[in-house]
């Protein structure tokens, strides 16, 4: 009997809390928190300007937002949304949720969010600790790709001036430094207004956009003309001597 009692006691400990949890009603409002400006890091730490928003049934008339059981604000028309600044409240752990009221007299509850309000200094420090390693990895990969591409270009046979070429899926650009057209590299970072790319001819870095085909063909013709040898100038003394000799025959 003692063993059976112990077994029943263990069953109750394991299964009764689970059954009780399954009977808890789910939230009736969808409560969300959005960052407008500031820091929102790992571990629920936030700092700056934030917005809270609630989505619910069509007959939702009013929503009251709470911070630690104190009213944070109210919204009486969709979108049911308010804004707040974390610096206006004490630092530390806080609980955020909302209660809604419908036109048929029902009171609805939302899910609960737990966040830690931190100072601006701590927010920037934590953001720097997250962002700087990522930037280091990105620039390291870019540098490695540039070195590999540069070594590949050194082994590649040079393209003769004016030779037609295929510019690939990233298009071609005209170097603003030397004026020669080249294919934009896949590893070149996108700077919104163009790709920060290195000209394989002069070695200079520039932000270049993909040029249309007629501009690229014109640049090919220009580099061909620039590479053509200049005409050999006629020696002025020799020309005068020739003219003098020809004039003697005219006098006779």
- Enter the tokens of residue 68: 């630690």
In a domain, 237, yes or no: no
C-alpha torsion 172→176→181→185, nearest 10: -40
Q: What percent of the chain has pLDDT over 90?
A: 45
**pLDDT tens by residue, 12-28:** 554 444 444 444 556 78
The four Cα atoms 122, 83, 62, 93 give a dihedral, to 10 degrees, of 10
Statement to judge: residues 57 and 104 lie in one domain? yes
The radius of gyration computed from the CA coordinates of the chain, to the nearest angstrom, equals: 37
Q: In this predicted model, which residue has the larger pLDDT, 3 or 17?
A: 3
- 142 with 164, same domain? no
In a domain, 206, yes or no: yes
Same domain, 197 and 148: no
**H/E element, 200:** none
Q: What are phi and psi of 229, to 5 degrees?
A: -70, 140
Other Cβ atoms less than 10 A from the Cβ of 81: the count is: 17
Rounded Cα distance, 184 and 173, in Å: 6
Whether residues 138 and 104 share a domain: the answer is no
pLDDT in tens, 191-231: 889 999 999 888 899 999 999 999 999 998 888 888 776 66
- Determine, yes or no, domain membership for 11: no
Residue 24, SS3 per DSSP? coil
Backbone angles phi, psi at 164, to 5 degrees: -65, 150
Claim to verify: residue 70 and residue 136 sit in the same structural domain:
no
Query: Quick one: 76 and 150 in the same domain?
Result: no
Q: Which domain holds residue 126?
A: 120-156
- Residue with tokens 């050194």, as numbered in its chain: 154
Please count the residues of the chain.
252
- Helix or strand (DSSP H, E) at 221: helix 213-227
Residues 30 and 103 in one domain: yes
Distance set, CA 232 to CA 17, 73, 161, 229, 236 (Å): 100, 86, 21, 9, 12
Is 18 part of any domain?
no
> Considering the domain boundaries, does residue 4 fall inside one?
no
Q: How many domains are contained in the chain?
A: 3
Look at residue 224 in the predicted model and tell me its pLDDT: 84
Q: Let me know if residue 232 belongs to a domain.
A: no
Convert the pLDDT of each residue in 144-163 to its tens digit: 766 666 665 555 556 667 66
Cα 56 to Cα 28: distance, rounded to the nearest angstrom: 7
Residue 45 falls inside a structural domain: yes
147, part of any domain? yes
CB 167 within 8 A of CB 216: yes
Residues 145 and 164 in one domain: no
Q: Which residue has the tokens 């600044």?
A: 85
């Amino acid at each position: 009997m003692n063993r059976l009692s112990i077994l029943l006691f263990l069953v109750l400990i394991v299964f009764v809390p689970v059954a009780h949890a399954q009977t808890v009603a789910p939230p009736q409002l969808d409560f969300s928190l959005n960052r407008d400006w500031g820091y929102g890091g790992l571990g629920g730490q936030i700092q700056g300007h934030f917005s809270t928003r609630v989505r619910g049934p069509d007959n939702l008339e009013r929503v009251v937002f709470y911070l630690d059981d104190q009213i944070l604000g109210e919204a009486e028309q969709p979108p049911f949304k308010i804004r707040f600044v974390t610096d206006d409240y004490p630092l530390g752990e806080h609980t955020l949720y909302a209660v809604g009221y419908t036109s048929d007299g029902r009171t609805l509850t939302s899910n609960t969010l737990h966040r830690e309000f931190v100072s601006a200094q701590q927010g920037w420090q934590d953001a720097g600790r997250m962002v700087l390693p990522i930037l280091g990895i990105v620039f390291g990969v870019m540098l490695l790709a540039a070195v590999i591409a540069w070594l590949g270009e050194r082994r590649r046979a040079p393209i003769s001036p004016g030779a037609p070429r295929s510019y690939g899926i990233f298009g071609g650009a005209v170097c603003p430094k030397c004026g020669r057209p080249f294919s934009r590299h896949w590893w070149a970072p996108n700077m919104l207004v163009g790709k920060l790319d290195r000209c394989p001819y002069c070695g200079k870095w520039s932000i270049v956009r993909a040029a249309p085909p007629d501009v690229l063909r014109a640049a090919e013709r220009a580099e061909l003309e620039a590479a053509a040898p200049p005409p050999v100038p006629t020696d002025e003394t020799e020309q005068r001597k020739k003219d003098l000799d020809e004039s003697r025959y005219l006098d006779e």
